[in-house]
């Protein structure tokens, strides 16, 4: 998944500055070596274990295979160091040792571009270097042809390495383990200033060498991306991971390259893939909030509609979870869900005897009828028992700033009751009068 995201970033997001920074080659080689490392670290440790002498290095199993991989992947500095050491080995033929030193020097001189250098200047340096590589390849080939009787494995391997540096497609294809290796090495040694637009023609030539059933889902997605075939690329991403397709689609929308997909898809691609990702989160016990936030990213009527529907279906099995859902509803202005959830919570609290909390939920959505019914229950309990016990409930409700006639009546009646009980008859009378004048008492009080 990272390989796809990283390559997409290189092709469509890498900053284009004057000069060689427009070349995709260094970025592609970096991508290749990060996501498909080669040669392996184990190979490198085995070859270089114990800081071997030139002769010890020459005897290491797999040495030449390792050096060819270094060349394919553009690790020319490491290649140059090892070839320089081999140039001093007594186990190599005189010709092989001499050419090992020569190719080491050539590898070190390989031109590298920079933002400060113009493309023309770099191309001139590259042309001189490439000519030197070609001359070296011709010389080594002539040496091998002149002595066909004796087989010099080291010299043959050096010829293969210099052919890779020359950019010979057949040699690169034969020595590459991955189709991505071929694309990278061909660009690196033949077209070092190639831009992203060169990728489709190059990848098609390379892919033709492979059977289609040899390609994985990842391979097919990468090929589509290199071909700039975005309508093919997006569905392949969704087969790999819904997170990937949703974020790629979102990024495509932001950098305005989604139009070609919109012409092919029957639905909005960005919304489609975000909704697909949300489905994987919404049913999860701990990730449902993430799913709702992704739905909020849709910013379309359909996305908000789906979001509201899901919000109302989330099981409210704890106060904490209920508050989280309500915060989401408030954040995204989901009024229908917000109202329905508060009413649902209010009824739950009422059934459980948490009357203050019930009033609090009803007040959030202006459900005055339900508030009156809860207050009537408190009043009925007082009339039935003669014990005025609702004081803490009313105090808690009033602390929230709620203003409701029935709540205010219960509060004032509680104050009247306490004053009367304390023989503060004048104050009790004033409170009772204010209740009667304001007409906040229920008709059955």
pLDDT score, position 115: 72
The stretch 59-72 carries a mean pLDDT of: 96
Confidence class for position 19, pLDDT limits 50, 70, 90: very low
DSSP alpha helices (H): ranges in 114-213?
Answer: 119-146, 153-166, 169-175, 179-190, 199-207
The total of other beta-carbon atoms located within 10 Å of residue 221's CB is 28
Q: Average pLDDT over the chain, rounded to whole?
A: 86
pLDDT band (50, 70, 90) for residue 435 = low
18 pLDDT band, cuts 50/70/90, is very low
pLDDT of residue 323: 92
Most confident range, picked from 11-25, 54-68, 266-280, 344-358: 54-68
Residue 58 has pLDDT above 50, yes or no: yes
Task: Identify the band that residue 17 occupies on the pLDDT scale cut at 50, 70 and 90.
Answer: very low
140 within 8 A of 161, measured Cβ to Cβ: no
73-89 average pLDDT score: 96
Q: Where does the pLDDT of residue 397 fall: very low under 50, low under 70, confident under 90, or very high at 90 and above?
A: low
Q: Write out the DSSP string of 78-138.
A: HHHHHHHHHTT-SSS-HHHHHHHHHHHHHHHT-----TTS-HHHHHHHHHHHHHHHHHHHH
Q: Which is it for the CA torsion 166, 171, 175, 176, positive or negative?
A: positive
In this prediction, residue 20 has a pLDDT band, given cuts at 50, 70 and 90, of: very low
Q: Looking at residues 137-160, what average pLDDT do you find?
A: 89
HSE-CB of 321 using CA atoms within 13 angstroms: 12
- Give how far Cα 280 sits from Cα of 145, 308, 313, Å: 64, 17, 15
Residue 282: is its pLDDT beyond 70? yes
Distance (Å, whole) CA 156 – CA 160: 6
> 240 falls in which pLDDT band (50, 70, 90)?
very high
129, 112 in Cβ contact below 8 A?
A: no
More reliable by pLDDT, 394 or 356: 356
User: Burial letters for 132-156: b for 16+ Cβ neighbours within 10 Å, e otherwise?
Assistant: ebbebbeebeebbeeeeeeebebbe
The residue whose two tokens read 């284009």 is 16
> How far is Cα 313 from Cα 207, in angstroms, rounded to an integer?
48
Helix axes 405-421, 368-385, angle to 10 degrees: 20
Tally of CB atoms within 10 A around 309: 13
Q: Which of 34, 69, 42, 41 is nearest to 174 (CA)?
A: 69
pLDDT > 70 fraction of the chain, expressed in percent and rounded: 86
Contact 122, 18 (CB under 8 A): no
Q: Is pLDDT of 155 > 50?
A: yes
What's the pLDDT score for residue 377?
79
Q: Give the CB-side neighbour count of residue 123, counting CA atoms within 13 A.
A: 9
pLDDT digits (tens, 9 = 90+) for 97-117: 999 999 999 999 999 877 778
The string of pLDDT tens digits covering residues 327-382 is 999 998 999 999 999 999 989 988 988 888 888 888 888 887 887 787 777 767 66
pLDDT value for 3: 96
- Give pLDDT, residue 56: 93
What pLDDT, on a 0 to 100 scale, did the predictor assign at position 78? 95
pLDDT surpasses 70 at 55: yes
What single-letter DSSP state applies at residue 198? G
**Which tens digits make up the pLDDT trace of 176-222?**
999 999 999 999 999 998 988 899 999 999 988 888 788 999 999 99
Q: What percent of the chain has pLDDT over 90?
A: 51
Q: What pLDDT is attached to residue 374?
A: 77
């Amino acid at each position: 998944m990272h390989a796809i995201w990283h390559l997409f970033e290189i092709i469509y997001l890498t900053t284009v500055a004057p000069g060689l920074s427009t070349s995709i080659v260094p970025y592609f080689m970096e991508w290749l070596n990060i996501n498909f490392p080669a040669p392996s670290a184990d190979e490198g440790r085995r070859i270089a274990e114990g800081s071997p002498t030139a002769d010890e290095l020459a005897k290491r199993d797999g040495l030449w295979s390792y050096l060819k991989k270094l060349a394919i992947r553009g690790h020319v500095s490491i290649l140059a160091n090892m070839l320089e050491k081999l140039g001093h080995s007594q186990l190599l033929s005189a010709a092989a040792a001499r050419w090992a030193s020569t190719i080491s020097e050539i590898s070190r001189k390989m031109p590298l571009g920079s933002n400060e250098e113009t493309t023309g200047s770099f191309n001139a340096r590259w042309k001189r270097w490439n000519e030197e590589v070609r001359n070296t390849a011709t010389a080594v080939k002539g040496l091998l042809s002149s002595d066909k009787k004796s087989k010099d494995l080291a010299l043959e391997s050096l010829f293969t390495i210099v052919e890779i540096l020359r950019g010979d497609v057949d040699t690169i294809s034969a020595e590459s383990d991955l189709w991505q290796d071929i694309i990278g090495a061909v660009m690196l040694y033949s077209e070092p200033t190639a831009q992203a637009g060169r990728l489709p023609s190059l990848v098609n030539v390379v892919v033709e060498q492979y059977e289609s059933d040899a390609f994985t889902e990842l391979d097919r997605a990468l090929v589509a991306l290199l071909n700039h075939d975005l309508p093919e690329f997006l569905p392949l991403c969704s087969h790999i991971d819904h997170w990937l397709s949703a974020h790629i689609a979102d990024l495509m929308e932001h950098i305005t390259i989604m139009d070609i997909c919109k012409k092919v898809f029957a639905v909005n691609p960005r919304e489609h893939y975000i909704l697909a990702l949300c489905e994987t989160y919404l049913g999860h016990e701990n990730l449902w909030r993430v799913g709702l936030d992704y739905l909020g990213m849709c910013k379309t009527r359909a996305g908000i509609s789906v979001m509201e529907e899901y919000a109302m279906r989330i099981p409210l099995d704890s106060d904490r979870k209920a508050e989280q859902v309500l915060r989401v509803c408030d954040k995204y202005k989901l009024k229908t869900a917000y109202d329905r959830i508060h009413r649902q919570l209010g009824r739950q609290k009422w059934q459980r005897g948490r009357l203050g909390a019930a009033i609090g939920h009803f007040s959030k959505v202006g459900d005055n009828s339900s508030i009156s019914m809860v207050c009537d229950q408190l009043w009925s309990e007082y009339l039935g028992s003669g014990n005025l016990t609702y004081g803490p409930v009313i105090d808690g409700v009033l602390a929230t700033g709620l203003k409701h006639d029935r709540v205010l009546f219960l509060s004032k009646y509680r104050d009247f009751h306490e004053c009367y009980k304390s023989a503060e008859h004048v104050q009790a009378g004033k409170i009772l009068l204010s209740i009667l004048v304001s007409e906040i008492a229920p008709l059955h009080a």
